[in-house]
Amino acid sequence: MRSPSTSGVGVPFSARFHSDRPGRHPGGVLVEGLRMHQDSGFTHQPVMAAEVVELMTPIPPGVLVDATVGGAGHSRLLLEALPQIHLVGIDRDPVAVAAASAALAGYGDRAEVHQARFDQLAQVLDGLGVSGISGALFDLGVSSPQLDVAERGFSYRSEAPLDMRMGPDAALSAADVVNEWSLRQLAELFADNGESRFAGRIARAIVAARPVVTTAELAEVVRLAIPAAARRHGGHPARRVFQAVRIAVNDELNVLPVGLDAAIERLVPGGRIVVLSYHSGEDRIVKSRFAQAESGGCTCPPGLPCVCGAQGSVRLLNRGARKPSAEEIAGNRRSQSARLRAVEGRAPGDINAGGGSR
């Protein structure tokens, strides 16, 4: 295994997101057109870190994939707690890749980082000659550093160009979605992401306001589209709209099942996959893929012995999703929506691996 690298898999590392603005962000350095601060780096407080480490502690020696390595917060804790693992970090964001590579450099040949989307997990592992993995972690959604760097365009709280691309592989920007999608497409997007009550009103307001150029403009258009009485509760009125646009820009709900299935397929007996999701659409996909892997596609009635011959490859480590503690939420409000699901790999022919275990 190699020491930390930044090799890409099908993604041009040279793609630029934004032009630099002279005089801004003192003390930062450019990483492929984005500025990474030298004082704070790409760092954030890892969500449900104790639970993740606890769940991963029993895994056998081998490769553990952090499929959303970010600033390597979870990765560093896992490397400290699990001397038996070699960590392969993956991230589509070149800023995160650079930061994680620096953060993990001290672990030498125990860790390496690659720029790739997690639906390219199989390609990354094939390139390393890895056929089986002992673990995989998926910490989904947008990271705190991405939200906090205003020019990335993820936040409704800052003035910035509409961008929201997590990596140079994204075919669309937020400006493309907001200004080019049809009224029907926008309404369906917002309805699918929790704005069913006002989806049509918001979509019509956006179309009428085009071109919408900045995050502040979009946030204001959304705010004015929602009746005043409804704006008094439920947080910022633009929160779900920004989330929906970000998910569309980065194709998040389409790449997720591909990455999960690739990890499940390579999981060795006793290995574990842990997923943190922050959105109901993500959590539904995780629940569905894990249930499919647990049953092996069994078509027998739930609660009855399996007679169709299906063989599950994993077992659920918890029925339902685990949530962060009240103490963690108090210290890190962004953890509030987190939902954790986990599975463990089963040996072929395990008598408990069939669909009848549901």
91-147 pLDDT, tens digit per residue, is: 999 999 999 999 999 999 999 999 999 999 999 999 999 999 999 999 998 877 777
* pLDDT at position 30 over 50: no
- H helices of the chain, where? 49-56, 73-81, 94-104, 121-128, 144-148, 174-180, 183-192, 199-209, 215-225, 239-249, 252-266, 280-295, 326-331
Contact assessment for residue 300 and residue 356, using Cβ atoms and an 8 Å cutoff = yes
Question: Residue 33 — pLDDT band, cuts 50, 70, 90?
Answer: very low
Helix, strand or coil, per DSSP, at residue 305? coil
pLDDT of the residue at 16: 29
Mean pLDDT within 257-276: 98
Mean pLDDT within 254-273: 98
pLDDT of the residue at 351: 54
Question: Residue 29 — pLDDT band, cuts 50, 70, 90?
Answer: very low
Q: Which residues contact 268 (CB under 8 A, 6 or more apart)?
A: 60, 62, 132, 133, 134, 345
Crossing angle of helices 280-295 and 252-266, rounded to 10°: 30
Question: Residue 43 — pLDDT band, cuts 50, 70, 90?
Answer: low
Contact assessment for residue 66 and residue 87, using Cβ atoms and an 8 Å cutoff = yes
Mean pLDDT within 204-232: 94
pLDDT of the residue at 121: 97
Residue among 82, 119, 117, 77 at smallest CA distance from 97: 117
* pLDDT at position 151 over 90: no
Spatial distance between the Cα atoms of 187 and 348, rounded to a whole number of angstroms: 46
Mean pLDDT within 225-245: 86
pLDDT of the residue at 7: 41
Single-letter amino acid, residue 23: G
The mean pLDDT value of the chain amounts to: 85
Greatest distance between any 2 Cα atoms in the chain: 69
Mean pLDDT within 49-77: 97
Contact assessment for residue 206 and residue 190, using Cβ atoms and an 8 Å cutoff = no
Q: Which residues contact 333 (CB under 8 A, 6 or more apart)?
A: none
* pLDDT at position 12 over 50: no
Beta bridge pairs of residue 275: 138, 341
Spatial distance between the Cα atoms of 57 and 133, rounded to a whole number of angstroms: 14
Contact assessment for residue 116 and residue 6, using Cβ atoms and an 8 Å cutoff = no
- Given the DSSP bridges, would you call strands 62-66 and 339-345 parallel, antiparallel or unpaired? unpaired
Share of the chain above pLDDT 70, in %: 85
pLDDT of the residue at 25: 30
pLDDT of the residue at 44: 63
Among the residue ranges 65-74, 177-186, 235-244, 267-276, the one predicted with the least confidence is 235-244
Mean pLDDT within 328-352: 89
* pLDDT at position 22 over 50: no
| Predicted structure pTM score | 0.85
In which region does residue 281 sit, left (phi positive, over 0), alpha (psi from -120 to 50) or beta (all else)? Answer: alpha
